[in-house]
């Protein structure tokens, strides 16, 4: 099966570069059908386990087994841009007999960190420097593993493994490498990465937000996810962004956005610290739009399961915490993130695993709505486009004025 992707990354190149060439590699997990159809199927047949239907992996937009070789010239330095454009699975990437040096993660340049391979969750990006071998007497193999810990393991399905050729000379023999457990290899760790600009740890927060994952299994066996018992859903009659612009001083009152928006109002320039706790067996990638955050702490959650016997060790940030816009939160663990609210707008905290976000795992930040109203304006064309579809462009979540939410669909809450 040969498949061409419909996604493409946007690459912004630096004015100067300390390498000879660059290579782009994108990774995707391929569902059996289109996402819109899968979501409709989820509504109509809630027993369908959507996450278990992914069929294969794509590398550079085609079946991962058919990807063209990586072609290298001896002694040259290459920047590999590794971009995860998928929806549910993680990808591990490594090249036999080659070390990689991480120099960027999610758009933040880093001090070089030598690793054996890179582990990417949905939506994550890395750049690594690869120094080619001194001669072209051998070719090599790159290895890719596609996996997800919340999907039942099945040989050949989860995990899936792929191999490709690293070609120095056409027809040269392939140099073999003894098999090695991933646990014995070095992978990037956010607490080992240091941002190149060495921005110091932000001061003690002005605003703390604690979020705990909850889930609910319906009578049909379908899981829903939420944070602090709230299932995020786009049931509002007025866009949260439109409400923030039109509500004037009431825009600072989180209740006008309705319960399903799970809105948190942030004051301009406050230091915000978010604690995300996931006391379950699922791994997640958390993405915050509009900000790169500092990753300041992680550790194990308190849980009463006997099945999880290797809790993640606690780590705290060094003087210059890594900044990025996404973070993998492992099973039965928590993470603390810190950023300054210096970008007025309406921003999502969302789950990188698309079906988990669709099932309710997200919240909204209403950041400095007073500054937003002063500095920006919605395009008139956007308003007209909504009005032509019968969508209100002002008022609270229910399309009313003030705090009256009459007409808003009933809220859905979860046990946590």
Rg (CA), the chain: 23
Q: Are strands 362-367 and 345-351 parallel, antiparallel or unpaired?
A: antiparallel
SS3 sequence of 61-98: CEECCCCCCEECCCCCEEEEEEEECCCCCEEEEEECCC
- Tally of CA atoms within 13 A in the half-sphere of 94 that contains its CB: 22
Identify whether the C-beta of residue 192 lies closer than 8 Å to the C-beta of residue 18: no
Mean pLDDT, residues 315-331: 95
Per the structure block, which two tokens stand in for 300?
Answer: 């194990």
Backbone angles phi, psi at 196, to 5 degrees: -65, -30
> What b-and-e string marks burial along 275-304, b requiring 16 or more CB atoms within 10 Å of the CB?
ebbbbbebbbbbbbebbbbbbbbbebbebe
pTM value?
Answer: 0.91
Mind listing the pLDDT tens digit for each residue in 210-230? 999 887 655 445 567 788 888
Confidence band of 410 (pLDDT split at 50, 70, 90)? confident
Backbone angles phi, psi at 340, to 5 degrees: -100, 135
Q: Is the pLDDT of residue 23 over 70?
A: yes
Identify whether the C-beta of residue 60 lies closer than 8 Å to the C-beta of residue 67: yes
> What b-and-e string marks burial along 146-182, b requiring 16 or more CB atoms within 10 Å of the CB?
bbbebbeeeeeebbbebebbbbbeeeeeeeeeeeeee
Mind listing the pLDDT tens digit for each residue in 40-54? 655 555 445 554 455
């Amino acid at each position: 099966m040969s498949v061409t992707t419909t996604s493409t990354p946007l690459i912004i190149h630096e004015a100067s570069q300390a390498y000879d060439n660059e290579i782009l590699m994108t990774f995707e997990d391929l569902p059996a059908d289109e996402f819109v159809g899968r979501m409709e199927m989820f509504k109509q047949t809630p027993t369908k386990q959507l996450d278990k239907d992914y069929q294969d992996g794509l590398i550079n937009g085609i079946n991962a087994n058919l990807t063209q070789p990586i072609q290298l010239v001896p002694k040259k330095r290459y920047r590999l841009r590794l971009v995860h454009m998928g929806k549910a699975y993680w990808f591990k990437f490594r090249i036999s007999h080659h070390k990689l040096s991480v120099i960027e993660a999610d758009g933040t340049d880093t001090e070089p960190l030598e690793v054996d391979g890179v582990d990417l969750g949905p939506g994550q990006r890395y750049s690594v420097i690869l120094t080619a071998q001194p001669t072209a007497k051998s070719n090599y193999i790159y290895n890719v593993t596609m996996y997800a810990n919340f999907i039942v393991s099945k040989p050949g399905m989860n995990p899936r493994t792929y191999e490709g050729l690293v070609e120095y000379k056409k027809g040269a023999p392939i140099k073999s490498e003894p098999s090695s457990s991933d646990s014995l290899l070095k992978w990037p760790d956010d607490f080992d990465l240091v941002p190149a600009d060495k921005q110091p740890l932000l001061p003690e927060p002005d605003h703390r937000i604690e979020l705990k994952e909850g889930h609910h299994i319906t009578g049909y066996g379908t899981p829903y996810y939420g944070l602090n018992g709230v299932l995020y859903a786009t049931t509002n009659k007025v866009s949260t962004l439109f409400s923030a612009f039109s509500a004037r001083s009431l825009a600072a009152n989180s209740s006008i956005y309705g319960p399903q928006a799970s809105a948190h109002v942030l004051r301009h320039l406050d230091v915000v610290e978010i604690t995300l706790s996931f006391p379950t067996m699922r791994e997640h990638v958390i993405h915050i739009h509009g900000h790169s955050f500092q990753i300041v702490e992680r550790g194990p959650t308190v849980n009463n399961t006997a099945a999880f016997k290797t809790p993640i060790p606690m780590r705290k940030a060094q003087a210059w915490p890594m900044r990025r816009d996404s973070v993998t939160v492992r099973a039965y663990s928590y993470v603390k993130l810190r950023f300054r609210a210096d970008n007025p707008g309406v921003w999502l905290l969302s789950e990188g695993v698309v079906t988990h976000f669709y099932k309710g795992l997200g919240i909204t930040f209403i950041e400095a709505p007073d500054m937003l109203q002063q500095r920006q304006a919605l395009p008139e064309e956007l308003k007209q486009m909504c009005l032509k579809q019968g969508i209100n462009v002002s008022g609270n979540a229910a399309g009313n004025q003030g705090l009256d939410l009459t007409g808003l669909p009933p809220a859905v809450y979860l046990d946590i």
